[in-house]
Chain A
Amino acid sequence: MKRARTPVVALALLAVLAPGSLRAQVCAGFPSLRDTRFRVAASAASYTYATALGVSLTAGRKVFGTLGAGVTHDGELHASTYDLSLEGGADIAFGPERRVFLCPVAALSVSLGPHDFLLQPEDYRYVSGTLGLGLAAVAVRGHRLTVLPAGGLRAVRLRATRTYTSPEETIGWTESDTYLLFTLGVGLVFNEVLTIRPGVTVPFDFVPPGAPYPFAVPFGREEREVSLGISVGINFGRRTRSPPQDPARLQ
């Protein structure tokens, strides 16, 4: 009964707390899912004019999947975008004592909004696909605290759509762009359960002045500005280790 509740609680958290861009796993500064089945994480990121909040649920082991949801809100423009993301990847340990990790990741994200932006009958939608590679190392492994610096580089293909709807007509504009994203963070992992991970996201391709309009309007977009963020994750659903088999019973 207890075991059945944990995913339900995690999904409830996912539904109640809104989203943001969450990067899961060792290369994002979280502990691996070697000993636990799941991680639920909440994140907050600060942009110049917007704040992003997010939650995510991660499941897997060496290969993992993360489902994330979030909202990015611009208080001055009273506008929000709602984000959904699905990410898959792997933690590949190597080096002495297997303290270094390499993590290939792939992700698909959809952002809906802002709707009715600036009181105009306009909606925005963003779809992006990501391929990336992360690198992390266990810098400090103490009795209760593990320090896990991590960084990564991602290539993102973004497709932005703006739709203007009036009683007479509907006009749509679609533009695509590719950009690189550099992430850096430090995971402070307590008792292999609780992680606090401050980090920074830096885009390599800032959208220049005169960029296609669907890219120019939105706020709190990772491809447009440096953002600072903090994530808190909790690993749960401890794996049950199979008891050592009795050699006598095998015979």
Chain B
Amino acid sequence: MPESVVASLRVRSRRAWPAWTLGLATGLALTAACTDLLGPRRNVTPELSALDLDLSLLSGIMHISGLPADTAFRLASGQSVSVEITVSSGDRESAGLYRTWCPPRPHGPYFNCFRFSIGMESGIDVRTLSQRVGGIGGRWEHIYSGGWLAEVTLFYPDAIRGAQRARSWPGVKFVELSWPGSCALQSGFCPPFPVWELTVPVLVDTGAAVPRDGTMQLRPGDTVAVLYRQPDGRVLEARRMVP
């Protein structure tokens, strides 16, 4: 091979590879930088105007809810508002408030991030699915009379995924997301409701207190307190006695 051709090939290969590498590196760096800068912070601390809790030993679910003072506040996906929960009998847990209503978009349609309904074929009781509901990280919120219809609460904000899984279970006739009032998808409009509301369902049982295990251990007569530290340092608190 002539020397000039060999030299030309050397120059060509030296020129080509560093440029490609540089290009790819630039692309990756830009992508990584944008992802990092634009990604939501996981824990946020908006000012809350109200904090409440609703617990039922029957369903084994305690609902904590909070209302941001700014009605324009919308929690992004992956973000949460941290609260501390203490029980007079010794348990202590933390939980992350999330949006009650998904998705956080200006015009909806909105559905409950944590709940969906299951309707059964005629003659099949929804309680036959209890183990499966537990398997997807949920519990029965309500079982309606006759046992053909029930509402499931998940302990994570992904009602669509939970409902999609439930749709293939034996005996299930239909699944449906939980709409606010008459705000069904077909209607195309929603009545006024607090889109900015935050909530988190917490799993409850009546065993011995095990702090930080993700489950509230409660007994009748216990007092449950939920605490939230406002951005200015003040503490907002909600208390309930277990009936």
Interface residues of A (CB under 8 A from B): 44, 46, 49, 74-78, 117-120, 122, 143-145, 164, 188, 190-191, 193-194, 196, 198, 209, 211, 213, 216-217, 219, 228, 230, 232
**With contacts A78-B160, A209-B107 known, is A119 near B23, CB below 8 A?**
no
| Inter-subunit contact A119/B27 (CB<8 Å) | no
Using a Cβ cutoff of 8 Å, how many contacts connect chains A and B?
75
17 contacts between A and B (CB under 8 A): A76-B77, A77-B103, A118-B177, A119-B167, A120-B185, A120-B186, A122-B185, A144-B15, A144-B19, A188-B26, A190-B22, A194-B23, A196-B30, A209-B107, A211-B107, A216-B107, A230-B30
Query: Of all chain B residues, which has the CB nearest A192?
Result: B19
In the complex, how many angstroms separate the beta carbon of B40 from the nearest chain A beta carbon?
11
| Inter-subunit contact B20/A194 (CB<8 Å) | yes
Of residues 1 through 35 on chain B, the ones whose CB sits less than 8 Å from some CB of chain A are 15-16, 18-20, 22-24, 26-27, 30-31, 34
Query: Of all chain A residues, which has the CB nearest B185?
Result: A120
Complex CA gap A193/B22 in Å reads 13
Chain B residues touching A, range: 35 or more
Q: Is B42 an interface residue (CB 8 A)?
A: no
Which 10 pairs, one residue from A and one from B, show the smallest C-beta to C-beta distance? A190-B19, A190-B23, A213-B188, A144-B19, A196-B27, A78-B160, A194-B23, A120-B185, A191-B19, A216-B107
Q: Which residues of B contact A77 (CB under 8 A)?
A: 102-103, 160
Of residues 101 through 129 on chain B, the ones whose CB sits less than 8 Å from some CB of chain A are 102-103, 105-109, 111, 116
**With contacts A78-B164, A119-B175 known, is A49 near B103, CB below 8 A?**
yes
Q: Which residues of A contact B234 (CB under 8 A)?
A: none
In the complex, how many angstroms separate the beta carbon of A228 from the nearest chain B beta carbon?
7
Q: 15 additional contacts, CB 8 Å, given A191-B19, A194-B23, A211-B107?
A: A76-B77, A77-B160, A78-B161, A118-B109, A119-B160, A119-B167, A119-B177, A144-B18, A188-B26, A190-B22, A193-B20, A194-B24, A196-B26, A209-B107, A216-B108
Complex CA gap A117/B103 in Å reads 13
Q: Is B81 an interface residue (CB 8 A)?
A: no
**With contacts A78-B164, A118-B177, A119-B175 known, is A194 near B30, CB below 8 A?**
no
Q: Which residues of A contact B188 (CB under 8 A)?
A: 213, 216
Complex CA gap A220/B227 in Å reads 38
Complex CA gap A120/B19 in Å reads 50
From A77, A118, A217, A232, residue with most partner B Cβ within 10 Å: A118
**With contacts A119-B175, A119-B177, A191-B16 known, is A164 near B27, CB below 8 A?**
no
Q: Is B38 an interface residue (CB 8 A)?
A: yes
Given B15, B20, B108, B185, which contacts A117 in the complex, CB threshold below 8 Å? Answer: B185
Given B19, B105, B163, B176, which contacts A194 in the complex, CB threshold below 8 Å? Answer: B19
Query: Of all chain B residues, which has the CB nearest A144?
Result: B19
**With contacts A190-B19, A190-B22 known, is A217 near B109, CB below 8 A?**
yes
Given B26, B102, B176, which contacts A119 in the complex, CB threshold below 8 Å? Answer: B176
Query: Of all chain B residues, which has the CB nearest A122?
Result: B185
Q: Which residues of B contact A216 (CB under 8 A)?
A: 107-108, 188
Q: Which residues of B contact A78 (CB under 8 A)?
A: 160-161, 164
Complex CA gap A122/B184 in Å reads 13
**With contacts A76-B77, A190-B20, A230-B31 known, is A118 near B107, CB below 8 A?**
no
Query: Of all chain B residues, which has the CB nearest A212?
Result: B188
Complex CA gap A217/B26 in Å reads 36
